[in-house]
Structure 1
Amino acid sequence: MSDVDKLLDALEELATQEQEAVLATVVKVEGSAYRRPGARMLISQVGSAVGTVSGGCLESDLAKKAWWLTEHTQPVIRTYSTGIPGDEPGEEEELAFGLGCNGTVHILLERVRVGQPFLPAQLLRQVIREQRPAALATVISGTGEAAALIGARAAVSPSGTLLQNGSPAVLVGLLMDDLQAAFEYKKTALHRYKMGAEQIEVLLEYLAPPRKLVIFGAGHDAQPLVAMAKQQGWQVTVIDARSHFIRRERFPNADQVMHLSLEFGQVPSELTTNAAVVIMSHSYLQDRHWLAQSLNQRPSYVGQLGPRSRTERMLAEIPNSHSQPAFEQLHYPMGLDIGGDTPEVIALSLLAEITAHFNGRKGEMLKAREAPIHDAEPVTQH
C-alpha cells in the first residue's frame, strides 16, 4: 500500500470519527531534500501522523505544532532551512541542523474539516478510482493582498472537469491553460503569475495514476514481485494459462488474477496500455505467446525473463516482431545487474529496472551520477 493509499484511508477513518486533521504538503524545495513537492503527511488531533515529508527530520516538529499553527483556520506555510543567519542558537537553528541535507523545504499546513469537501483528497481518490491523471494547482505564496490566496486551488479532474474550492475567477482564469498543459508535460512545476500589481507563486502538480504491472507467469518467483509492487501502490495483474498455478490464494495481494488459455486468451489492451509488462512463465510456448501479444499493444515497458538467446529465438519466430508497436520498449534480459538468484533478489532487480525506466533513469550507482540526485522542479514565469 502506498503513502497515498494510507493517507486516504486515514482521512476516511477520521471522517467516520468526526475528527479534523491537518494536512502537511511539501510545496517547494530549494537545494537538496529527502522528499519532493507533492509529498504529504496527515496529522490527527492527537498528534499521530500518516505519511512523510522528510527523512524523519521534520515530522515530529510538525506533529507538535500543526494544530496551533492552523488555529485561525487559514492555510500557512512552514519553512525549514539548513542555515539560518544569526549568532544566537535557538529552536529554528536546531531544526535546521536536523535536516542535514543543505536545503530549504516549504510545507503547506491546512485543516481538513469534517463534512467539508477537500479538493486534494477528492482528486487523489478520482485518480486512483478512474486510473487516469489529474492536475492540481495550489497557491503557495503571494505579495500584498494576494498573500490571502495561499492555499487557494483549482484543478482539472481525470474526466476533464474543472474543480475549484471557491477560488477567485481571475485566479482560475490564470491557471487554466497551465492546468491543461500539465497533462501533456506530465511534470510537477512551479509557476509565477502577475495578478494586477501583485504576484503569486503556484505549485502545479501532475497527479499520475498508480503504475500498472502485468505479470505473465504465476510461478513462485512472481509472488515476491507482486508483493514488492503492491508495497509501492502499483496496480498488479497476474496472468497464466495454467489453471493449477493461477489461483487467487497464491496471489492474495494482486488486483487481478486471470486464467487465459493460449488458444483463446487475448489480453485486453486496456490492461497493458501504459503498463509495465513482465513475461516470466518459464514456459517457452507461453512466453512466446504473451510476448507476441505484448509487442502488438501499447505498454510503456516490456521485459522478458531468461537468457538473451532464448528471447532472440522467440523474436525470430514471431512474425514482424521488430516492427511491432512495442518493440522499442522491449528489455531482455530484463533487470539490473545486482547479482543473486533467489526469487526475492530477482524481483528486486526487475522492479528496480522498471522504476528506473519510468523515471527516465539508467539505474546506475548514485556515486557515478554527476547531476543532483533529484531533478529540480521547473519554474515558469508568466
Structure 2
Amino acid sequence: MRETVQLLRALDELDATQQQAVLATVVKVEGSAYRRPGARMLIPPIGGAVGTVSGGCLEGDLIKKAWWLTELGEPVLRTYSTGVGVDAADEEEELAFGLGCNGTVHILLERVRGGQTPLPLSLLRHVQASGAPAVLATVIASSDDSVRLAERAALDPTGKLHLTLRQAALTRALEADLQSVRQRQSPALQRYRLAGGEVEVLFEYLTPPRRLVVFGAGHDAQPLVSLARQQAWQVAVIDARRHFARRERFPEANQVLHLGIDQDHDLAALLESAAVVVMSHSYSQDRHWLERALRLRPSYIGQLGPRSRTERLLDEIGPISRHLPAYARLHYPMGLDIGGDAPESVALSVLAEITAHFNGRAGGMLMAREAPIHDSVPALHG
C-alpha cells in the first residue's frame, strides 16, 4: 500500500511538469518470483524509479531499457526468466537472469504522459480516495487482431464500468467476469476464445488501505501506530483519557479521538471491516471498547493481556458476549508468538498477526509451509 501512495505522488509530479514516464506492471508470474501480478514501478525520465517489480533483480534492466522499448508509444510485454542455467540468448523477448528462483516474470511496459492518467492509476487513485475496492481487467496477450495488448475494462469503487476496448464479444464477457472477481475479492487470470484468436486477461482486485482502530493511547500504542503507518494503513487512536488522546503523542495517526465511555458514540462506520486492537491498560475502558467492537462488524479484534483477563472481561459483559456478531473474530491474547515483551516487539507481533489474518494465513514459519510462499493467480473459470 505504501508503494501505491508513492506511485500516486509521483504521478502528481508528472502531471505538474507535463513529463512522460514508463509504467511497468507485473502481469503474470510462472513459478517463483519476489513480486506478484499487480506490482508496479514508475520510471521517470530523470531521477529514480518509484516502486518495485522484483526483489531488486530486474529493476536495473528495466530502467535502462524501458524508454527505448516503448519509443513507438505502444505497450510492450517484457519477459524475464530467473532460473539457474537458463539460456535465452536466442529469444528476442526473453532475458535470462541466473538467480535460481526458477520463475518467469512477465512485465507490461506502457508510456504515461503527464495530464493523461491511465486507467490503472486513475482507478488506484479512486480506490485510495474512496476507501472502497475496484476491479481492473487488462489484456496481457492476444492473437486476435481486434484486441490489443493493454486494452482494459474496469469496475470503479462506485460500480461504474470503464472500457478502453471495442471488441463486442470480449466486452460482454469481461462485464460479467468483472462482477465475479468483485464478489470473489481476489485476482484471477482468464483466457477467452474469440473468432480471430485467443486473448488472455489479468483481473486485479484493487483494495483500499487497511484500517486500524486502536483503543488505548498508552506508550505501547505508539510503535504500533508508527508501524501501521509505515504500511500506509489508515489509523485511528481512541482513548477516554484526555491527557493520553493527544495529537502530539500520535503525529502519524490519521485520527486521534478523545471519547468518554460514559457517552454513546456511533462507531459503526469507523470499525466496519477494520482491524481493532483493545489495549488501554484500563480494565473499565477495555471492557467498554471490547463490547462495542463485538457488537459491530470489524474484520479483526485483538485484546491485549493474559487469556484469563479477557475471559473475565467477556464474563462481565455477560453471557451474550460469546454470541455477539464479531466474537468469532476475537483474538486473545493477540499477536504472534515471537517472544519479545518490549513495546516495539509487541507492535511487531500484533501487526504481523493482523496482516496474516487479512491475507488468510495462519502466521506460522515459512520453513514449515509445504505450499509455495505465494499463492498462484487462479483461472477465473475452469
What secondary structure, in the 3-state scheme, does the structure 2 residue paired with 1:149 have? coil
Question: What amino acid maps onto 1:20 in structure 2?
Answer: Q
Q: Output the amino acid matched with 2:61.
A: D
Q: Is the 8 A contact 2:293 2:326 kept in 1?
A: yes
Q: Does the C-alpha gap of structure 1 residues 93 and 129 become closer, same or farther in structure 2, counting only changes over 3 Å?
A: closer
Local SS of the residue matching 1:109: strand
Structure 1 counterpart of 2:234: 235
Give the corresponding residue for 1:162.
161
Is 1:104 equivalent to 2:104 in the alignment? yes
- 2 CA distance for matches of 1:300 and 1:6? 26
1: CA distance, partners of 2:237 / 2:60:
40
Q: Does structure 2 retain, via aligned residues, the 8 Å contact 1:210–1:233?
A: yes
Aligned pairs (5 A) from 1:2-21: 2-21=2-21
Q: Following TM superposition, by how much is the alpha carbon of 1:165 offset from its aligned partner in structure 2, in angstroms?
A: 2.7
List runs of 5+ in structure 1 lacking aligned partners: none
TM-score (norm 2): 0.95
Tell me the CA shift for residue 266 of structure 1. Answer: 2.0
Rounded Cα–Cα distance in structure 2 between residues aligned with 1:317 and 1:144: 66
Letter in 1 for 2:163: Q
Partner of 1:253: 252
- After superposition, where does 1:323-362 map in structure 2 within 5 Å? 323-362=323-362
The residue type equivalent to 1:51 in the other structure is G
**Aligned residue identity for 2:134:** A
Deviation, structure 1 residue 169: 3.8
Partner of 1:300: 299
CA distance in 2 between partners of 1:262 and 1:124 (Å): 38
Q: Which amino acid aligns with 2:193?
A: K
Cα distance in 2 for partners of 1:86, 1:160 equals: 46
Once the 2 structures are TM-superposed, how far is the Cα of residue 115 of structure 1 from its aligned partner?
A: 2.3
CA–CA distance in structure 2, aligned partners of residues 93 and 27 of structure 1: 15
Residue 151 of structure 2 is matched in structure 1 by 152
Provide the secondary structure at the position in 2 that maps to 1:262. Answer: coil
Q: Residue 89 and residue 108 in structure 1: after superposition, are their counterparts in 2 closer, same or farther (change >3 A)?
A: closer
| Structure 1 contact 137–203 (Cα < 8 Å) conserved | yes
Give matches, 1:1-382, under 5 Å.
Answer: 2-46=2-46, 48-83=48-83, 86=87, 95-97=96-98, 99-146=99-146, 149-319=148-318, 320-380=320-380
Distance change >3 Å, CA 11–CA 87, structure 1 → 2: closer
After superposition, the Cα gap between the structure-2 partners of 1:184 and 1:198, relative to the gap in structure 1 and judged at 3 Å, is: same
Amino acid at match of 2:291: A
Q: Residue type of the partner of 2:316?
A: E
Distance 1:378 1:272 in 2: 31
2:55 maps to amino acid = G
1:202 aligned partner, one-letter code: V
Per-residue CA deviations over 1:247-290 (Å, capped at 9, x if unaligned) read: 01111111111110011142420111111000000000000000
- Aligned AA (2:340): G
The offset of 1:89, in angstroms, is 9.7
Distance 1:89 1:202, change over 3 A: closer
Task: Please state whether the residue corresponding to 2:63 is helix, strand or coil.
Answer: helix
Change (3 A) 1:184 1:131: same
Q: CA deviation at 1:108?
A: 0.4
TM-aligned CA deviation for residue 309 of structure 1: 0.6
Aligned CA-pair RMSD = 1.9
Distance 2:144 2:165 in 1: 20
Change (3 A) 1:89 1:77: closer
Q: Is contact 1:267–1:293 with CA below 8 Å preserved after alignment?
A: no
CA offsets 1:334-362 (integer angstroms, 9 cap, x no match) = 00010111110000000000011111111
Q: Deviations over 1:217-274 (max 9, x none)?
A: 0011111111111111111110000000000111111111111001114242011111
| Separation in 1, partners of 2:310, 2:242 | 25
C-alpha distance in 2, partners of 1:123/1:169?
23
Contact 2:88 2:94 in 1 (8 A): no
Q: How far did residue 195 of structure 1 move?
A: 1.7
Question: Is the 2:291–2:321 Cα contact (8 Å) retained in structure 1?
Answer: yes
* Paired amino acid for 1:175: L
Displacement, 1:113? 1.3
Q: CA deviation at 1:181?
A: 1.2
8 Å Cα contact 1:135/1:205 also seen in 2: yes
Distance 1:346 1:208 in 2: 27
Structure 1 pair 91–343 and aligned structure 2 pair: CA distance change class (3 A): farther
Name stretches of at least 5 consecutive residues in structure 2 with no aligned partner.
Answer: none
User: Does the aligned pair in 2 maintain the 1:26–1:105 contact within 8 Å?
Assistant: yes
Cα 1:91–1:178, aligned 2, differ >3 Å: closer, same or farther? closer
**Do the aligned partners of residues 169 and 105 (structure 1) sit closer, same or farther apart at CA in structure 2, a change above 3 Å counting?**
same
Structure 2 counterpart of 1:330, which letter?
A: L
What CA distance in whole angstroms lies between the structure 1 residues aligned with 2:359 and 2:179? Answer: 22
Q: Which amino acid aligns with 1:44?
A: P
Deviates more, 1:38-47 or 1:295-304: 38-47
Partner Cα separation in structure 2 for residue 162 and residue 51 of structure 1 = 28
